[in-house]
């Protein structure tokens, strides 16, 4: 294969990756805008839907900053430290591509695709299930009077009520299952912990690596727990979201990433220089 053919192959790969990521992003936004969630009814005596509305402890911008920015920053630093001195064997139309850039690209693209897969799976679950959030009564204020005997102990159909509140979050109120904050936080932080396990090879101390891994996991754990304490999700929604994120993180790290390995200079010892040391005989 000629140099130009290799350059075209590399360029084709980058373009295809870009189109795939862009296409999945468009699908995600279209799903959120055009797909109306399933309208589910409720029971008037359902205590799990009567919690007060509470603002987010971990906001969506905070989740994006930590969930996407922190793994990217760590991968950037690790790949640069590990591969910065490695000679480059990849050229695109005569332009040499540093090895650490190639390593960064492979890891970040795999991480980004995994994040999009998690978000798509999460959004599909939200739209299909349509589970009501714990603050349903506080936010919706249904048009029926639940104190009347006719509504007690029976399932209120979606066609039998409407929300009297003017809140802009009426549609989002039907997206409790599964927790998107939990799935994204679990995916990104578990991915980061597993990446450090495979990539952080400094032998000076293991405490640093394990401390970083623990910190990443605690960020995701705190995010997941806050969704319950903020009355945004039921505990089962959080458990399902967290499990989804963990599964995708494991699959992406062990099946979807081609880490650029650091080349080691192996010194071959000539056979005539190898001596067998044994006991000396007088």
Tens digit of each residue's pLDDT, the chain (282 residues): 566 677 788 788 889 989 999 999 999 999 988 988 999 999 999 999 999 999 999 999 999 998 999 999 999 999 998 888 887 767 666 677 788 888 899 999 999 999 999 999 999 999 999 999 999 999 999 999 888 888 888 999 999 998 988 877 888 899 999 999 999 999 999 999 999 998 887 666 778 889 999 999 999 999 999 999 999 999 999 999 999 999 999 999 998 887 777 765 434 444 444 334 444 444
Predicted TM-score (pTM) of the model is 0.87
Choosing from 39, 54, 181, 266, the catalytic residue is 181
Active site residue 233: yes
Annotated domain spans of the chain = 3-38+58-133+169-264
Write 14-22 long-range contacts (CB < 8 A, 24+): 14/105, 17/109, 20/113, 21/109, 21/112, 21/113, 21/116
Model pLDDT, residue 137: 93
Please provide residue 172's backbone torsions phi and psi, each rounded to the nearest 5 degrees: -65, -25
Contact of 89 with 103, CB cutoff 8 Å: no
Q: For residue 68, what are its two tokens?
A: 């996407």
Model pLDDT, residue 236: 96
Strands 155-156 and 42-43, by their bridges, are: antiparallel
Rounded to 10°, the helix 180-199/235-251 angle is 30
Model pLDDT, residue 121: 96
Torsion on CA atoms 209, 215, 217, 222, rounded to nearest 10: 180
Q: For residue 24, what are its two tokens?
A: 């999945």
Choosing from 39, 135, 233, 281, the catalytic residue is 233
Active site residue 135: no
Model pLDDT, residue 215: 95
According to DSSP, the residues that pair with 43 across neighbouring strands are 155
């Amino acid at each position: 294969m000629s140099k130009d053919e290799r350059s075209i192959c590399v360029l084709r790969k980058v373009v295809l990756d870009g189109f795939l990521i862009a296409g999945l992003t468009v699908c995600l936004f279209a799903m959120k805008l055009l797909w109306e969630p399933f309208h589910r009814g409720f029971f008037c005596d359902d205590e799990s839907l009567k919690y007060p509305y509470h603002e987010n402890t971990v906001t969506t911008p905070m989740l994006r900053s930590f969930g996407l920015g922190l793994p990217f920053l760590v991968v950037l630093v690790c790949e640069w430290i590990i591969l910065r001195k490695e000679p480059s064997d990849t050229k695109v139309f005569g332009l040499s591509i540093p090895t650490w850039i190639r390593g960064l690209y492979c890891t970040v693209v795999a991480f980004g695709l995994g994040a999009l897969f998690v978000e798509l799976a999460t959004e599909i679950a939200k739209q299909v299930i349509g589970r009501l959030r714990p603050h349903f009564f506080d936010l919706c204020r249904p048009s029926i009077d639940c104190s009347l005997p006719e509504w007690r102990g029976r399932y209120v159909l979606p066609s039998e009520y409407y929300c009297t509140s003017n809140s802009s979050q009426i549609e989002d109120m039907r997206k409790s299952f599964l927790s998107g904050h939990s799935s994204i936080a679990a995916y990104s932080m578990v991915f980061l912990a597993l990446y450090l396990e495979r990539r952080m090879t400094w032998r000076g101390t293991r405490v640093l690596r394990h401390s970083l891994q623990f910190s990443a996991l605690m960020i995701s754990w705190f995010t997941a727990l806050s969704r319950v304490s903020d009355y945004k999700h039921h505990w089962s929604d959080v458990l399902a979201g967290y499990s989804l994120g963990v599964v995708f993180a494991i699959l992406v790290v062990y099946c979807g990433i081609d880490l650029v390995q650091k080349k080691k200079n192996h010194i071959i010892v000539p056979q005539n220089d190898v001596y067998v040391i044994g006991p000396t005989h007088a």
